[in-house]
Structure 1
């Protein structure tokens, strides 16, 4: 048997996929489920699918097929979901026209939730009960029994979720120059674009906002951001500590499977603010204030020179 996952409903299937919090991922189980095993007839197959806490079943999404034909719930199978475990019973004996060499495909969707970790596993095991075909399996004196050999091993798939660490410095990257008091927001573009809202989970820890949660700025200092898929993101400094110059552009954050370790970027995103005053740029009220102040100073200097160069009035002699 096999267990595969895809980040898209019609995407490529593999043993692992990447996703962010709030994303939907799709799982697929394939198994050989024949009508007979040796001289025994199969009564039913049992699949136990276990999700890690970072994944949530979509209970309405389960689909079962045998040889590309849809099966009917209750008539051909049953499903019971209890928190992180789904138990699927395939009723081989009770299903009319069950194929001798059946191959079942079970598919369903799950959502990456707020409990996600860097590696969110999903495993499934299969077992079955069987009986002597010359007997009646509904006879309480001769019930089907669990198969005693050739049970398949568990198979698993994983969903990987990512994040990064952010560190703020004054003037240069130096562990003695950590800078507190800045605030950032995360976007999906170098300019404009959509804000990727985050919530604070613990002190200095932020994750992707879900549902109706309202986003908050990233306070740095030191911060960790988690819950992201692979891709390119952009940090915008929205509040600058007093006495420091703002950043001129957003900071690029690129996440891939190759540049991460244990779910986080290997390299910390270091952001430096320089101390000092920046002269206002062209245009805007800041420029006019600057020019006005300069003009007033020049006028005052001119008046002073004129007054100093004017000849003194002669004194009257009485």
Structure 2
């Protein structure tokens, strides 16, 4: 089929968020079967592309004219005022003049192509909307011509981004937008696993400072935005105090830490829902080092007395303390304000804390009141917050300072039951009886630690065991047995202590008598 010649026209096809940005010379408007068609390869349903004509081929004489309805006079004035182009449009007055400027690939840049598209977007009309099928969006435009394609998709609160403006000649079927977007991953440090302990699950003692890490990425297509920001939105369970500060580290694509980037994160707290935000101006950061590809944000939060505690594996297998984070981010390069309408999926981690379930009995398994215990970690006695006669919880530093309901000693009551809430797993504790009930001997100290298991995402407990030396028992309970008897030797008869007491008196008396006799002889 005959090809109609068109004046040489250099045009860049620019996309966002991962841009296909190149300058190409389109020397014809093809009048083949594909002449009035533009196809965009994007295997994501639900998007809306609209093609707006800028230039048309108006006759067989190869002349270029403005598309019908295009505000050409205002457009030329805007091009002349835009400082991006310098004085390149100072002398233009016709469509052919404008086409001549942008087709000069030796004197036209990718940056100028992007600016040209942004200016044109303010003056276009009479658009053609796309249809979708089999991973492609098709725009059946009415005429062969040069088109500005605008992504009109509403991506508010979606993990998706709009394409930047696309400039394309009809009949070109190689348009493949690559939409880039940032990612967020939240992790918690499993304290007994050292530096390799980052993951989705942690377990701690109440009062511990728990470490969190949030990793976010930067899409390379940020360069096509006037403003690009994103914000970490982090919500902690009520079992955590909100952090006061955070620290950020920056890395390139090779994982090399970048030391020349200066940034002090500002935490904006919302105590109402126990959340906070940290915002990043990505364009400002990239101005310091254009190789930034990843940001790691670290903070610690204290596990407090409101934390959910596991008392029984079967009934409390989901008694965790969830912590959730997500990003809101700029996702439309057509919006010069950089509004954060994009939203990543939530990333969630879980922290666990446990209960020691104690029972004080005699050798007949009868409950005993009046026994006194201390819980030790190493040689240190742990301070406890007394909730009621049976329940004690690991005290926080603030509670210890206030010195209300604080004790270091558990005293059993009539039923012999006691619970110590908020202990860690994989930690060596000692339960030491400091005073036995009347008529009973003290029991030996019990050294123990808990071990557990979780489902893969850390949200549910699957195993809880207590280890006492070489013995492992299912659950998290200990039974402390007291036995009756004197600590002095006994023959089983009565009056033994009285006998020893009288004998002692006789010995003392004999000593006095002997001394008296010696003094009498001297006299």
Partner secondary structure for residue 272 of structure 1: strand
- In the alignment, the residues of structure 1 paired with residue 433 and residue 445 of structure 2 have an alpha-carbon distance, to the nearest angstrom, of 7
Match of 1:156 in 2: 348
Conserved 8 A contact 2:229-2:281: yes
Conserved 8 A contact 2:216-2:296: yes
- In the alignment, the residues of structure 1 paired with residue 285 and residue 504 of structure 2 have an alpha-carbon distance, to the nearest angstrom, of 95
Partner secondary structure for residue 65 of structure 1: strand
Shift in Å at residue 117 of structure 1? 1.9
Match of 2:485 in 1: 276
- Cα 1:258–1:7 shift into 2, 3 Å: closer
Shift in Å at residue 42 of structure 1? 6.2
Shift in Å at residue 210 of structure 1? 2.4
Match of 2:187 in 1: 4
Match of 1:293 in 2: 501
Conserved 8 A contact 2:382-2:408: no
1:127-170 CA-to-partner distances (Å, cap 9, x unmatched) read 2123335x6x24xxxx64613xxx43111122221221111112
Question: In the alignment, which of 212, 232, 247 is matched to residue 428 of structure 2?
Answer: 232
For 1:25-64, what aligned pairs fall within 5 Å after superposition?
25-36=210-221, 43-64=228-249
For 1:1-318, what aligned pairs fall within 5 Å after superposition?
1-7=184-190, 11-12=195-196, 13-36=198-221, 43-67=228-252, 68-69=257-258, 70-73=261-264, 78-83=266-271, 84-97=274-287, 99=290, 102-118=293-309, 119-132=320-333, 137-138=336-337, 144=339, 146-147=341-342, 151-173=343-365, 177-189=366-378, 193-211=379-397, 212=401, 213=403, 214-220=406-412, 221-230=416-425, 231-247=427-443, 249-257=444-452, 266-279=475-488, 292-293=500-501, 295=503
TM-score, scaled relative to structure 2:
0.46
- Structure with a larger share of its residues in strand: 1
- Cα 1:274–1:161 shift into 2, 3 Å: same
Partner secondary structure for residue 126 of structure 1: strand
- In the alignment, the residues of structure 2 paired with residue 262 and residue 115 of structure 1 have an alpha-carbon distance, to the nearest angstrom, of 23
- Cα 1:258–1:145 shift into 2, 3 Å: closer
Partner secondary structure for residue 359 of structure 2: strand
- In the alignment, the residues of structure 1 paired with residue 218 and residue 499 of structure 2 have an alpha-carbon distance, to the nearest angstrom, of 83
Q: Any stretches of 5+ residues in structure 1 without a counterpart? A: 282-288, 300-318
- In the alignment, the residues of structure 2 paired with residue 25 and residue 145 of structure 1 have an alpha-carbon distance, to the nearest angstrom, of 30
**Cα root mean square deviation, aligned:** 3.5
TM-score, scaled relative to structure 1:
0.73
Conserved 8 A contact 2:452-2:465: no
- Cα 1:131–1:261 shift into 2, 3 Å: closer
Shift in Å at residue 25 of structure 1? 1.7
- In the alignment, the residues of structure 2 paired with residue 262 and residue 205 of structure 1 have an alpha-carbon distance, to the nearest angstrom, of 23
Partner secondary structure for residue 245 of structure 2: helix
Conserved 8 A contact 1:34-1:101: no
Conserved 8 A contact 2:222-2:228: no
Conserved 8 A contact 1:34-1:103: no
Partner secondary structure for residue 28 of structure 1: strand
Partner secondary structure for residue 437 of structure 2: coil
- In the alignment, the residues of structure 2 paired with residue 253 and residue 195 of structure 1 have an alpha-carbon distance, to the nearest angstrom, of 15
- Cα 1:61–1:215 shift into 2, 3 Å: farther
Shift in Å at residue 224 of structure 1? 0.5
- Cα 1:170–1:64 shift into 2, 3 Å: same
Shift in Å at residue 194 of structure 1? 2.0
1:20-73 CA-to-partner distances (Å, cap 9, x unmatched) read 122112111112221537976762112101111111233123335353334413
Shift in Å at residue 101 of structure 1? 7.0
Shift in Å at residue 94 of structure 1? 4.3
Shift in Å at residue 271 of structure 1? 0.9
- In the alignment, the residues of structure 1 paired with residue 504 and residue 221 of structure 2 have an alpha-carbon distance, to the nearest angstrom, of 100
- Cα 1:296–1:101 shift into 2, 3 Å: closer
Bigger CA radius of gyration: 2
Shift in Å at residue 277 of structure 1? 2.9
Conserved 8 A contact 2:248-2:295: no
Conserved 8 A contact 1:65-1:71: no
- In the alignment, the residues of structure 2 paired with residue 263 and residue 86 of structure 1 have an alpha-carbon distance, to the nearest angstrom, of 33
- Cα 1:181–1:110 shift into 2, 3 Å: same
Conserved 8 A contact 1:187-1:235: yes
